Amino acid sequence: MQVYEIKKDIYWVGAVDWLVRDFHGYSTYKGTTYNAFLMFDEKNVLFDTVKHNLCSDLVHRIRTLTDPEKIDYIVVNHVEMDHTGCLPEIVELVKPEKIICSKMGHKNLLAHFHRPDWPYHVVENGETISVGKRSITFIETRMLHWPDSMFSYIPEEKLLISSDAFGQHLGTSERFDDEVDESELMYQAKKYYANILYLYSPQVRKLLKSVAEAGLEIDMIAPDHGVIWRKGPDKILKAYEDWSHHRGTKKALVIYDTMWHSTEMMAKAVADGLESTGISVKLLDLAVNHRSEIVTDVIDAKGICLGCPTLNNGLLPRMAGFLMYLRGLRPAQKFGFAFGSYGWSGEAVKHMNKAMEEWKFELVHEGIKVKYVPTHDDLKRCKEAGQLMGKKIIEALEDQA
């Protein structure tokens, strides 16, 4: 099996997952990779492992380079099982002198594998250890995206091994950013941010600031998923800066579900209103768009319109599920508007408004409810609400500029 030397004596030894299409509810149509890195020095260090079912790929790649027992340290940057699933097998094989992790990493490893007998070595935030000609500095990145997450930085190589941050679910035979299609890469990086990190945007901003202040020299960022940023580490850092600041663009989404096409007609009218003001609009039916793709569009949209008819005094389950998912990702700094048809009680709009109020969205309108089937006048009101949102977005972006 192929190994890739990413820096002198530092190899990619991970695994490509060509099969995964659903990552705990996140659609991964391009598969993914679980990246692990092996650094040779006076002490040989393995950074992270792979998902359990791909353990033999990792072992095979390690063996093409060395006898596993020659590995001295295993660094666990993140305890989630896509990076530690085969840790028990690897520990057995390697018999490491140290398993290096953060304080929370130690706790979480114990809670996953129940092995108090392993040779843990807990590092403090900012601690540096020497491995010979080179050293490793550990930077705690709690909640990016688990309490145990940390970065490993090798100053002599200007290499940042960044765990899940800056990753992408993109399974390829290529290992570097300059070898794959750029727009696909940036889309997958954005999708990863939206689904995994969006809720921790305040922590991302803080981290970027502290990395800049510490003056870390970085010419390569190696995340644990997808390709390695060697051409464009600045590009992904800048993208994270934008996404974490909730910098909306001239873009709005009309996200809806419908029973008998009434709410769909309203959705089209709202979108028409937005479009007439020069806003870029996406009409997203929850029946055909995956939630993890929709939230990818949410992060740079300035306006969110939600449409849903009332079913049994509540929301259709697809909208309810979507709101639950989006709520967890903590969207912020957007305009909102809710609409929907109903037969007799009509609670759906109230539920959607309540959700958006909780997220502190600025509601541009009290919401529009239509009994059974919209009339011409109803659709005109929907279009006007869309126009109102369009104008608000344009004004807000002018103020921001």
CB 213 within 8 A of CB 207: no
Annotated catalytic, 78? yes
Min dist. Cβ of residue 214 to another protein (A): 17
Confirm or reject binding of residue 140 to another protein (CB under 8 A): yes
Considering only the stretches 127-135, 136-144, 185-193, 364-372, report the one whose residues sit in contact with another protein under the rule CB under 8 A. Answer: 136-144
Min dist. Cβ of residue 333 to another protein (A): 16
DSSP of 358-381, one letter per residue?
HTT-EESSS-EEEESS--HHHHHH
Which residue lies nearer to another protein by CB, 143 or 363? 143
Which residue lies nearer to another protein by CB, 140 or 297? 140
**DSSP-assigned letter for residue 177:** G
Which residue lies nearer to another protein by CB, 104 or 326? 104
Backbone angles phi, psi at 214, to 5 degrees: -70, -10
Annotated catalytic, 69? no
Rounded to a whole number of angstroms, the CA Rg of the chain reads 24
How many residues are present in the chain?
401
Task: List the one residue from 27, 52, 110, 147 that touches another protein (CB under 8 A).
Answer: 147
Annotated catalytic, 256? no
| Cα gap 106→213, rounded to integer Å | 28
CA-CA-CA-CA torsion for 194, 200, 206, 207, nearest 10 degrees?
-70
User: Which candidate, 124, 175, 177, places its Cα nearest to that of 150?
Assistant: 124
CA dist 241 → 209, 244, 394 (Å):
9, 5, 22
Which residue lies nearer to another protein by CB, 58 or 204? 204
Confirm or reject binding of residue 208 to another protein (CB under 8 A): no
Confirm or reject binding of residue 164 to another protein (CB under 8 A): no
Confirm or reject binding of residue 203 to another protein (CB under 8 A): yes
Annotated catalytic, 169? no
Confirm or reject binding of residue 200 to another protein (CB under 8 A): yes
Confirm or reject binding of residue 289 to another protein (CB under 8 A): no
| Cα gap 10→261, rounded to integer Å | 57
Min dist. Cβ of residue 329 to another protein (A): 14
Confirm or reject binding of residue 104 to another protein (CB under 8 A): yes
Strands (DSSP E) contained in 40-179 are 45-47, 73-75, 98-101, 120-122, 128-130, 135-140, 150-154, 159-163
| Cα gap 339→284, rounded to integer Å | 14
Which residue lies nearer to another protein by CB, 203 or 289? 203
For the annotated catalytic residues, the residue numbers are 24, 78, 80, 82, 145, 164, 192, 225
Residues that bind another protein (CB under 8 A): 104, 140, 142-143, 147, 200, 202-203
